[in-house]
């Protein structure tokens, strides 16, 4: 039965349940089937010459990928979205669509390490200079802009140290100089943060994380506003990036339950972070949703919710104590990434990579991702770990 859309304004819960699928088109199937294929046939020469049909070649799009693109475009209120085989490749496509040889790019000093490696190696190889800036910068960013500056790249909050950038202010300054603003929105997702409405030009996501939600797929998304969509799409096509239809299907599946998962993990993360603030062995908790966070005011202004990940700074101790804490955890796994249903911990050393703003905290940084386990069970696991940590101080 075909339903008329009498109300074009939908909540994100409804968008995620309905956008990007068409049961009438696919024999009544609720989900868009996985559509594998490379060669797509044309009916005649005229259609072939003009590429006059919905799909022309496997790399150029298919129903499985289009399903995800429609969902993210609607959520981000973007002009369009393309998919990539990883979060990092999404970042690469976004930056390449805004830069050329001889340009300079301003990058927040809090971005995660693969982004830094991209800038310091691949971008440098192609003649693009990267200048890192204090992630808490405000109007001072104008002092870093030169005639060569083409792009500002933000990650808000930073996925290790969780500084929140003042996007509206930075975007306002960037537009005065005709500079593109790209932002990684993987933490809050478009459910809780809408960068394009705050002035960004391109938004990227590691769809591997919250969008997928089950730690079983690698993917990325790139969404652009009207002024940047054409160039982004062209760059994406020229670089030959495409996502497997099987992976697109998994992303679409994960997106349907994103509101429920994200809300549960947000609540769990805030509860756990608040509890950790009271533990003697924890020097600081880095979670923007907590009033103790230095950027909490910006967070409250621009975000409607928070992600599943935060960091803590432990009281200084020998590496033996850290190993004792981590190696004997029962519920928290040790690994990269986040966003899945399972909880994770990961030690990090920001002092080894920070340039613009040196990391001066004394004590081990431990990043925590809260999954869907019972919070009291997670507390008990960390409490036992902190006791082991104390024993080896």
Catalytic residues: 59, 112, 184, 209
Residue 181 has φ and ψ, to the nearest 5°, of -115, 120
Residue 315 has φ and ψ, to the nearest 5°, of -60, 140
């Amino acid at each position: 039965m075909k339903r008329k859309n009498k109300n074009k304004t939908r909540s994100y819960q409804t968008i995620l349940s309905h956008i990007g699928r068409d049961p009438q088109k696919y024999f009544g199937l609720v989900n868009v089937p996985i559509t594998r294929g490379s060669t797509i046939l044309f009916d005649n020469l005229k259609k072939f010459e003009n590429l006059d049909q919905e799909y022309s070649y496997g790399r150029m799009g298919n129903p499985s990928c289009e399903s995800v693109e429609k969902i993210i475009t609607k959520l981000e209120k973007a002009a369009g979205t393309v998919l990539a085989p990883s979060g990092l490749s999404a970042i690469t496509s976004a930056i390449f669509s805004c830069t050329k040889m001889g340009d300079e790019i301003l990058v927040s000093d809090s971005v995660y390490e693969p982004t830094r490696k991209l800038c310091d190696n691949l971008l440098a190889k192609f003649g693009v200079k990267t200048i890192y800036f204090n992630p808490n910068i405000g109007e001072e960013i104008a002092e870093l802009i030169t005639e060569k500056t083409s792009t500002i790249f933000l990650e808000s909050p930073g996925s290790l140290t969780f500084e929140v950038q003042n996007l509206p202010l930075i975007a306002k300054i960037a537009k005065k100089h005709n500079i593109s603003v790209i932002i990684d929105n993987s933490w809050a997702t478009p459910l809780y943060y809408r960068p394009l409405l705050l002035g960004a030009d391109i938004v990227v996501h590691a769809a591997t994380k919250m969008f997928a939600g089950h730690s079983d797929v690698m993917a990325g998304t790139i969404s652009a506003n009207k002024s940047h969509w054409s160039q982004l799409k062209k760059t994406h096509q020229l670089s030959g990036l495409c996502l497997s239809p099987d992976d697109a299907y998994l992303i679409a599946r994960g997106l349907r339950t994103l509101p429920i998962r994200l809300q549960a993990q947000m609540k769990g993360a805030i509860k756990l972070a608040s509890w950790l603030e009271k533990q003697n062995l924890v020097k600081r908790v880095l979670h923007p949703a907590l009033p103790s966070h230095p950027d909490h005011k910006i967070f409250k202004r621009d975000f409607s919710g928070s992600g599943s990940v935060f960091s803590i700074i432990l009281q200084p101790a020998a590496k033996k104590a850290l190993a004792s804490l981590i190696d004997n955890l029962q519920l928290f796994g040790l690994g990269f990434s986040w966003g899945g249903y399972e909880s994770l911990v990961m030690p990090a050393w920001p002092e080894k990579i920070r340039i613009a703003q040196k990391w001066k905290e004394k004590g081990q940084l431990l990043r925590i991702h809260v999954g869907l386990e019972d919070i009291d069970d997670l507390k008990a696991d960390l409490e036992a770990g902190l006791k082991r940590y104390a024993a080896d101080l």
